[in-house]
Amino acid sequence: MGNISRRQFNRRLSQGIAGSALFSSVPLACAMAGTKSREESLGIALVGLGSYSTYQLAPALQDTKFCHLAGIVTGTKAKERIWAERYGIPAGNIYNYQNFDTIADNDDIDVVYVVLPNSMHAEFSIRAAQAGKHVICEKPMAVTVAECDAIIEACRKAGVKLGIGYRLHSEPYTQEVKRFVREKTFGKTAYVNAEAAYRSAGNPDQWRLNKALSGGGALMNMGVYSIQSTIYATGENPVKVTAQEFSTRPDYFKDTDETVTAQFQFPGGATGTVFTSHNANANSLYASCTGGWFSLKPANNYGPLAGESSNGPIQFKHESQQKLQMDDFASHILYGSVNRAPGEMGKRDMIIIEAIYRSISEGNRSVPLELGNMGLV
């Protein structure tokens, strides 16, 4: 965890988030933990009860078909009581970071979803695997490629499944883009531009602005979406990247990157540009092809997304991306369906991120990438 202890992290996380206010905008759960039979549903334990678990994952788990909220792991006593009351979680399924490893003895929990700051992903993904639990690791997978390798090896050795929290791979607009590319609906992609950014104006002490916890700034957070967009819009991994970094608020972004742009070359001849930032709002994907074009705008938020193409509008009914993602992973475990976001995909993206940082640190020079088909699903 670098320069910050877990105790300090828990204290920072709990500042301003106490009592019932934690769930002030979350509707009362319609289904309580453990109400679905184990034959048809896997029990998931959420590790880390920040805003994503609170407002996205836990509510989504009330509507999932193949999995349900079975347990929690938190370092905050107040959250234990609130979550137990809200979701009917029994005391035996509530853990903290110190006794987490005893989760190995709990048959109610099949999957551990690690939703902690990036620097803690490797530790708890590995501990979950060693406890014999399947693992979903929130993106980015880790803060180094070496940590990605360690997670993959731990899951392989334990014989458990590993998925990365890439929700977009389970939602229909992204799947339609993949179909366009696979079937060459608009011919071959020649150029793609992807943007994923938001303006951060909150607490300057938040963990995303602390490199010891985040591993990086906008690139590690939103940049993953823009990188992935260029990949599934071409159907290929890049072979070369050149990148630049910009900072206009150094007083606020003291420890992490504010804005990053990068240019990709793909083996089939396509070129791509990405933009990511914590100091601007951007959310789009555009691909120009030999026989037309397609775009998504918005392309990477929680939805609803929207799209159009040279053939007309792209329209799908909106559903919770988190619900679709977790059901897809549970189905992979239960029925052997495709793992839409395997560990190799998370590792590939970390290789690209490290190459982008390397390009920036070495004077914006072009950095080769040898990825082959790694992570393409």
Confidence of residue 248 (pLDDT cuts 50, 70, 90): very high
Reading the block at residue 240, the tokens are: 């070369």
Q: Which class does domain 169-322+343-368 fall in?
A: alpha beta
Q: Which residues contact 357 (CB under 8 A, 6 or more apart)?
A: 216, 219, 243
- Residue 65 designated active-site: no
Strand boundaries in the chain, DSSP class E: 42-47, 67-73, 94-95, 111-114, 134-137, 162-164, 189-199, 240-246, 259-265, 271-277, 279-289, 292-296, 307-309, 312-314, 367-368
Q: Is 372 left (phi over 0), alpha (psi -120 to 50) or beta?
A: left
- pLDDT score of 12: 41
Of 79, 139, 323, 347, the active-site residue reads: 139
Residue 38 has pLDDT above 90, yes or no: no
CATH of the structural domain 6-165, one choice from 3.10.20.340, 3.30.1440.10, 3.40.50.720, 3.40.190.10: 3.40.50.720
Of 87, 95, 166, 225, the active-site residue reads: 225
Cα–Cα distance measured from residue 114 to residue 61, given in angstroms and rounded to the nearest whole number: 15
- pLDDT score of 39: 64
Cα–Cα distance measured from residue 263 to residue 240, given in angstroms and rounded to the nearest whole number: 8
Cα–Cα distance measured from residue 343 to residue 153, given in angstroms and rounded to the nearest whole number: 10
Q: Which helix (H) or strand (E) holds 349?
A: helix 343-361
Q: Is residue 377 packed enough to be buried (19+ CB in 10 Å), middle (13-18) or exposed (0-12)? A: middle
pLDDT, average across residues 60-82: 98
Q: In the chain, which segments carry CATH 3.40.50.720?
A: 6-165
Q: Which residue has the tokens 């309580």?
A: 32
State if pTM tops 0.85: yes
Taking the C-alpha atoms of 209, 213, 219 and 222 in order, what is their torsion angle to the nearest 10 degrees?
-80
- Residue 139 designated active-site: yes
- In tens, the pLDDT along 298-312 reads 999 999 999 999 999
- In tens, the pLDDT along 311-324 reads 999 999 999 999 99
- pLDDT score of 52: 98
| Backbone φ and ψ of 320, nearest 5° | -60, 120
Residue 2 has pLDDT above 90, yes or no: no
- In tens, the pLDDT along 181-208 reads 999 999 999 999 999 999 999 899 999 9
Cα–Cα distance measured from residue 364 to residue 359, given in angstroms and rounded to the nearest whole number: 5
Of 32-41, 90-99, 128-137, 151-160, give the lowest mean pLDDT range.
32-41
Residue 29 has pLDDT above 90, yes or no: no
Reading the block at residue 148, the tokens are: 């990605």
Q: With pLDDT > 70 as the criterion, what percentage of the chain qualifies?
A: 90
Cα–Cα distance measured from residue 189 to residue 246, given in angstroms and rounded to the nearest whole number: 29
Residue 372 has pLDDT above 60, yes or no: yes
Q: In the chain, which segments carry CATH 3.30.360.10?
A: 169-322+343-368
Count of beta carbons in the 10 Å neighbourhood of residue 199: 12
HSE, CB side, 13 Å, CA atoms: give it for residue 119.
18
Of 11-15, 99-103, 331-335, give the lowest mean pLDDT range.
11-15
Residue 277 has pLDDT above 50, yes or no: yes
Cα–Cα distance measured from residue 58 to residue 304, given in angstroms and rounded to the nearest whole number: 19
Confidence of residue 354 (pLDDT cuts 50, 70, 90): very high
The answer to whether 100 and 47 are in contact (CB under 8 A) is yes
Confidence of residue 21 (pLDDT cuts 50, 70, 90): very low
- In tens, the pLDDT along 122-151 reads 999 999 999 999 999 999 999 999 999 999
**312-314 β-sheet, strand order:** 312-314, 307-309, 292-296, 279-289, 189-199, 271-277, 259-265, 240-246, 367-368
The answer to whether 111 and 53 are in contact (CB under 8 A) is no
* Alpha helix segments (H runs only) across 195-287: 211-214, 218-221, 223-234
Residue 34 has pLDDT above 50, yes or no: no
- pLDDT score of 3: 42
